[in-house]
Amino acid sequence: MDLDNLFIDATSPQDRERLFTILSQLPTRSIYSTIGVYANGNKKYNGVLPQDLIPHITYNLQFRPGRAFFVEGQCLNSGYLDEETITALEQEFAKNPHLPNKVSSQYL
């Protein structure tokens, strides 16, 4: 995965380092799972091709900052959710992983 092309306007060097660590440790998949969680609890599930993952992450971090955002069950952005809720969601996603068998949308 080409992390050099990831544009994240992280709030601190620690946040940026954490994001790079999570992304560099992702398993190799043909379709990646991402989940956006809104403050009201609604969830948006996506299947994303490897070559589209960086643009997908960048878009979500830049244009949906209030929504919590998970890649392969790991939180990349907590949005408006508190730490307790994020921990509970990460545990939920670990027990019941979202394993997409199709791509939600392709980037052109």
Q: What's the pLDDT score for residue 8?
A: 58
CB-based contacts of 2-10 (< 8 A; 24+ apart in sequence): 2/54, 3/54, 5/54, 6/54, 6/57, 6/58, 7/58, 7/62, 8/57, 8/58, 8/61, 9/61, 9/62
Average pLDDT on 82-106 reads: 91
Reported confidence tier of residue 81, pLDDT bands at 50, 70, 90? very high
107 in a structural domain? no
- Is residue 86 one of the residues assigned to a domain? yes
Domain membership flag for residue 54: yes
In a domain, 62, yes or no: yes
Q: Is 37 exposed, middle or buried (0-12, 13-18, 19+ CB in 10 A)?
A: buried
Domain annotation covers residue 101: no
pTM, full prediction: 0.85
Average predicted confidence (pLDDT) for the chain: 85
Containing structural domain, residue 60: 3-95
Q: Is residue 105 a part of any domain in this protein?
A: no
The count of structural domains within the chain is: 1
